[in-house]
Amino acid sequence: MAEKEVHVVTGAFGFAGKYIARRLLEAGFEVRTVTNSQRRENPFVGRVKAYPFNFNDPERLVESLRGAKVLYNTYWVRFNTANFSFSLAVDNTMKLFEAAGKAGIRRIVHISILNASESSAFEYFKDKAIVERLLKESGLSYAILRPAVLFGKEDILINNIAWFLRNFPVFDVFGNGNYKLQPIFVDDLARLAVEEGLKEEDRIIDAIGPEMYVYKELVRTIARTIGKERLIISVSPEIGYIASTAVGRLFGDVTITWDEIRGLMANMLYADSPPAGTTKLSDYLRENASTIGMRYSSEMARRKNRQLSYDHL
């Protein structure tokens, strides 16, 4: 029997990586993952072999990638804390790309961010652009997918907007709430990633969904769909940040960062590009109206607890 082609997905027990791994298995590939969370509960019942990232042991990192054809890279951090930072994520991603080259990986499908730019005022977008450049300079074949916001069962932003709507009588939007965003369904991103993994040519794709929302309309749509029509008020970004931070603290979480608020308000999650996804957020919300936002999703809990699936964190 012919051996299966091996593809490696970072963080296959996390969010986007899980959907990519599932699609790769369905397509008949052998799937490995490199992850910080080797023992995280996952749906693959032993079909995805997990290796640690080993950023500080490049030879072992190379060994975990050896023999694979494609690497799907989801690795990143959402904000700076005492334990992780964007600059560390850039250094580690560089090590990952170098290891991929040494291991004989043919192509990297890299998940970036919409509007990544080295001249961006926002560290997330700037450092993502640095990583994109490092990938282009690596000499490996690449596809760079640039999503704005992902939605799906394990997402944080859409889920937590719904959670706030379920739990508070008033919802405050930052400033006038008229900035735009284009969410993509996580499994549409996964489909795109797997399609791109099979190609040869270098590509950069704005991975946005078919619906564009103005933020306050997004909040209204979620509220209406889950049956929690609330008073939606405009507050200054500073007040909104203080309020979100206070609620986040109750969960030991960072609900939203100051940069995320400023990036959102600066339309960083919007681009005038054709949609790459087909699933409408409005349909997803209707289909999941009874479950979305029933519990708070915590970025920090996901970083601290490496056993439970994201479904519970």
Stretch that binds ligand NAP, among 34-42, 94-102, 216-224, 258-266 (CB under 6 A): 34-42
Stretch that binds ligand NAP, among 35-43, 93-101, 219-227, 242-250 (CB under 6 A): 35-43
Is 153 a binding residue for ligand NAP by CB under 6 A? The answer is: no
Q: Which long-range contacts (CB under 8 A, 24 or more apart) does 186-189 make?
A: 186/15, 186/16, 186/19, 186/150, 186/151, 186/152, 186/154, 186/155, 187/19, 187/23, 187/152, 187/279, 188/276, 188/277, 188/278, 188/279, 189/16, 189/19, 189/20, 189/111, 189/145, 189/147, 189/150, 189/277
Is 150 a binding residue for ligand NAP by CB under 6 A? The answer is: yes
What is the total count of residues that contact ligand NAP (CB under 6 A)? 21
Interaction pattern, residues 75-114, with ligand NAP; x per rule: CB under 6 A: xxx------x--------------------------x-x-
* Crossing angle for the helix pair 86-103 and 123-137, to the nearest 10 degrees: 20
With CB under 6 A as the contact rule, the residue among 6, 7, 8, 11 that binds ligand NAP is 11
With CB under 6 A as the contact rule, the residue among 129, 144, 147, 162 that binds ligand NAP is 147
Closest to ligand NAP by CB, 227 or 252:
252
Neighbouring C-beta atoms of residue 56, cutoff 10 Å? 9
With CB under 6 A as the contact rule, the residue among 6, 64, 68, 74 that binds ligand NAP is 74
With CB under 6 A as the contact rule, the residue among 36, 54, 245, 267 that binds ligand NAP is 36
